[in-house]
Amino acid sequence: MRLCQKYFTMRDAILEVRYQMKKFFWLAVIVLLLLTFSDHELLRPYRDQIYGLILDKAPSSGKMSDEQAMRYIQKQFKELTADWGEGQQQQLSKAAESKQSLLVFHQRYCVNRDFNPILFGEPLRKSCSIIDSQLEALTSP
């Protein structure tokens, strides 16, 4: 059997490659046009979502940076506290303001197990597990 059995001649194979390259070219043009006009108010929310996904998923140098870990933790905290009280939401948003405040929160309430009158029980355990999942990225030099 021949490897190129689908195409009867070399000409047919070249035409197929050209056709595929044209499709890729037009896809690239459409993406570039969308990026060019993405500041329009109708496209801005979708652009921000796509940029957020890219920044969360694409590591900059193989490992997750502390900025990426902070964004991930803040995003997870927002999702987690969606149905919690305002005091609990404020406590976690204050804890996730900076890398230093997050590490202090982790040390006090997750490692030392100090009593937190606002966050305790299951909410504190879930918050600590989110921080623990990104702790390596936060503490790496």
What is the per-residue burial (b if ≥16 Cβ within 10 Å, else e) of 24-36?
A: eeeeeeeeeeeee
pLDDT digits (tens, 9 = 90+) for 24-52: 999 999 888 877 777 777 777 887 787 77
Summarised one tens digit per residue, pLDDT across range 73-130 is 888 888 888 888 888 888 888 888 888 888 898 999 889 988 888 788 888 888 889 8
Q: Confidence band (pLDDT; 50, 70, 90) for 1?
A: very low
Q: Return the HEC string of 20-78.
A: HHHHHHHHHHHHHHHHHCCCCCCCHHHHHHHHHHHHHHCCCCCCCCHHHHHHHHHHHHH
The whole-model pTM stands at: 0.55
pLDDT of 4 strictly over 60: no
- The predicted pLDDT at position 32 comes to 84
